Each structure stands twice: as structure tokens, then as C-alpha cells.
Amino acid sequence: MADQLGVEEIHGLGIATVMARKGATGAAIGAALGIVPPEGPHMATANALTMIGTGPQSWLVVKERAVPDFANALSETLKGLASVSDQSSSYIVTRLTGSDARTVLQRGAPIDFHPDCFRTGSAATTMIAHIGVILWQIDDSPTYHVATFRSYAQSFQHWLSATAAAL
């Protein structure tokens, strides 16, 4: 891997898709969770939760060091407001850090990663090497989290290794 690129798989995450039910608002969902949900492709963090906007009135909700019944508890909290689907075993989340992280992502995703366009709090649902990913920028280092479906994780890691080696 490149000298200025850190790659780490993140373990112990609770991950769920949250979709507002008819008539429910993002504000009501946020109030129930104690977080202001992002509008559009952005992330918000509060109360140990991260919400990533993935579409209209839908989010990927992530919690580090989550209990096994994270999605069930989330579903109870959002009862009547949102549909919740447990994704904890569906995704592998990879953390990319360092000055080469942006360069690597620019070589795979068809979006603009320039810091003026994609910065801390930005998120995207896109493709990298024909693999669907959800990615979000955590800080200005820059640090990114990239969620890929578990069944594509090996292909993503192969792409990542080959791309990093070419730096």
C-alpha cells in the first residue's frame, strides 16, 4: 500500500437502514434519536450515532461498539416513524486515512473529491470498480469510511490494493 494511506476494517458496528414512513419527517426521526438528520448526501453525528443521507427521507445509521440487538432497539425507538432494516452483517466498513486516501478514491469513484466539493460531513452513494459503496468523510485529515456489501468486500479490497500500489 501507499506510504501515506492507512487502511483498516472497522469491527463491532451496528448498521441499519432507516426509511421514513409516510407522513413522518426527518425532524421527527431526528428528535426521537437525539440527532439532526442530514438532508441530502451528508452525515451527522450525535449521541454515538452517525446518520448518512442515502436518499430522500432515508439514511444509513451507524453506531460503533453496538450491542447485538442495535437494529431492534432502533426500530422500537422509531416505531411509527420509520422502517428499520438491520444491515450490521450486510456491510463491511473500511476506514481510509492519510494524504493518499483522497487520491485513491478519486481513481475509483466518479465524484469530485476536491476538498472544496467533498469535505468533512460529505457523503455519497456511488460505485467504485463496479461495486456499490456508501462513503462519507469523517474529518479533514482526510479520513473516509467506505461501506461495501460483504459479498463484494474481497473485490473492493483487491481494487484498493491494486490502486494503492500504483501510487
Give the residue-averaged pLDDT of 2-27: 94
pLDDT of residue 15: 98
pLDDT of residue 3: 65
Which listed CATH number (3.40.50.2300, 3.40.50.2000, 3.30.365.10, 3.30.1360.120) goes with 90-165? Answer: 3.30.1360.120
- Please count the helices (runs of H) and the strands (runs of E) in the chain: 4, 10
pLDDT of residue 29: 98
Q: Per-residue pLDDT for 122 more than 70?
A: yes
pTM for this entry: 0.94
Q: Per-residue pLDDT for 1 more than 60?
A: no
Each domain of the chain, given as residue ranges in start order, spans: 12-86, 90-165
Considering the chain, what is the average pLDDT of its residues?
96
In CATH, the architecture of 12-86 is 2-Layer Sandwich (3.30)
pLDDT of residue 2: 54
Q: Per-residue pLDDT for 49 more than 70?
A: yes
CA quadruple 16, 154, 107, 137: dihedral positive or negative? positive
- DSSP conformation letters of 15-76: EEEEEEPTT--HHHHHHHHTS-PPSSSBEEEETTEEEEEEETTEEEEEETT--TTHHHHHHH
pLDDT of residue 32: 97
Cα–Cα distance, 18 to 133 (Å, whole number): 17
Cα–Cα distance, 46 to 59 (Å, whole number): 14
Tell me phi and psi for residue 82, to 5 degrees.
-150, 155
Cα–Cα distance, 49 to 65 (Å, whole number): 11
The residues facing 91 across adjacent strands are: 149
